[in-house]
Amino acid sequence: MIEQIQKIEEEITAFKFNIASDVEKFRIHFLGSKGLVKGLYALLREVPNQEKKMFGQKINDLRTAAENKLNGAHITSVKKEDHKVKEDITKPVGESSLGSHHPLSIIKREIVDIFNKIGFSISEGPEIEDDWHNFSALNFPPEHPARDMQDTFFIQKGEEEIALRTHTSSVQVRVMENNRPPIRTISPGRVYRNEAISARAHCFFHQVEGLYIDEDVSFADLKQTLLYFAKEMFGDKSEIRLRPSYFPFTEPSAEVDVSCTICNSKGCNVCKYTGWLEILGCGMVDPNVLNASGIDSKKYSGFAFGMGIERIAQLKYKVNDLRIYSENDIRFLNQFKSEG
């Protein structure tokens, strides 16, 4: 009998709970109604009377030991089970649920940030515009070809003909009508032109307009501001050059090229072997525009510029087909996941 008790005691000590079901296995094996401890009690009947007390005590101790082990195991193994079933909430969330910013949004934000740093505020205007803000106030003569139905989407609103704005220069007028100088603002937004869709042209695209009006604003201020922009956007080594141009609302006007970022001005097919890339139009705000917008052109002067966001994005990301920006192809959009 004593040997049997010892053997069972050793067995209890040696038992290891590996999986949850081991707990129940242990209970049945040692403490169940047909278990080993119950079996010992049965044997007790055959033990001589004077030894009954001693053996009974030993079996009781054995039962207590088994019960203690069972209770302890219960706790640890349930904990184990918990770990297995539940998620580790300290783990980082899965990447697959993250979206990405649209490349045009990323570039727009970069442009806005660059001008914010030198004190330009942001202003926006409506995409559906009237003739005054899109053309007349901007010094477009009535016969100017840009008013032609081929370039502009017109909407008939009762008697009135209204248009989808063809450029963000319309916001210049709205800002000047509603604010007094000094004015320093940039206006990002979508614009529309009645063009056949191809790799190089689209019926809608995005621009950022810049406007600076104060006393004594000069062409040198304009050049310096644009040089700062080019260096921030395309790198410190960037240079700019201005070519004379024409816009009805600026005088003098210029088109601005930045040194080719792709070949470092050595000449490549993107810059057509000139070493320069056209990025924006600009000029000193025509006095007629200042007067039309309620600003005294004798006291104030200013500059304006306008650039295409798609154009800047094309140079930064080397995306040569404009159409891909609005096709919502997830394979294209996913490439911008880590940016912005």
Residues that bind ligand PHE (CB under 6 A): 167, 169, 209, 247, 250, 281-283, 304-306
- Min CB(304)–ligand PHE separation in Å: 4
**Side chain identity, residue 139:** N
- Min CB(324)–ligand PHE separation in Å: 22
Using the minimum distance from each CB to ligand PHE, give the nearer residue, 169 or 225: 169
- Min CB(153)–ligand PHE separation in Å: 15
Closest by CA to 201, choosing from 79, 81, 325, is 325
Using the minimum distance from each CB to ligand PHE, give the nearer residue, 64 or 150: 150
Residue owning tokens 């081991």: 22
**Cα(339)–Cα(101) distance, rounded to whole angstroms?**
7
Using the minimum distance from each CB to ligand PHE, give the nearer residue, 103 or 189: 189
Using the minimum distance from each CB to ligand PHE, give the nearer residue, 67 or 251: 251
Using the minimum distance from each CB to ligand PHE, give the nearer residue, 188 or 281: 281
- Min CB(336)–ligand PHE separation in Å: 26
**How many H-runs (helices) and E-runs (strands) does the chain carry?**
11, 10
Residues 198-215 as b or e (16 or more Cβ within 10 Å = b):
eeeebebbbbbbbbbbee
**Cα(122)–Cα(186) distance, rounded to whole angstroms?**
5
Using the minimum distance from each CB to ligand PHE, give the nearer residue, 135 or 276: 135
**Side chain identity, residue 166:** T
Using the minimum distance from each CB to ligand PHE, give the nearer residue, 56 or 252: 252
Closest residue to ligand PHE, judged by C-beta, is 306
- Min CB(170)–ligand PHE separation in Å: 9
**Cα(41)–Cα(148) distance, rounded to whole angstroms?**
109
**Cα(289)–Cα(105) distance, rounded to whole angstroms?**
30
- Min CB(233)–ligand PHE separation in Å: 17
**Side chain identity, residue 32:** G
**Cα(152)–Cα(165) distance, rounded to whole angstroms?**
8
- Min CB(110)–ligand PHE separation in Å: 19
- State the DSSP code for 47: S
Q: State phi, psi for 16 to the nearest 5 degrees.
A: -115, 135
The two structure tokens encoding residue 37: 């401890």
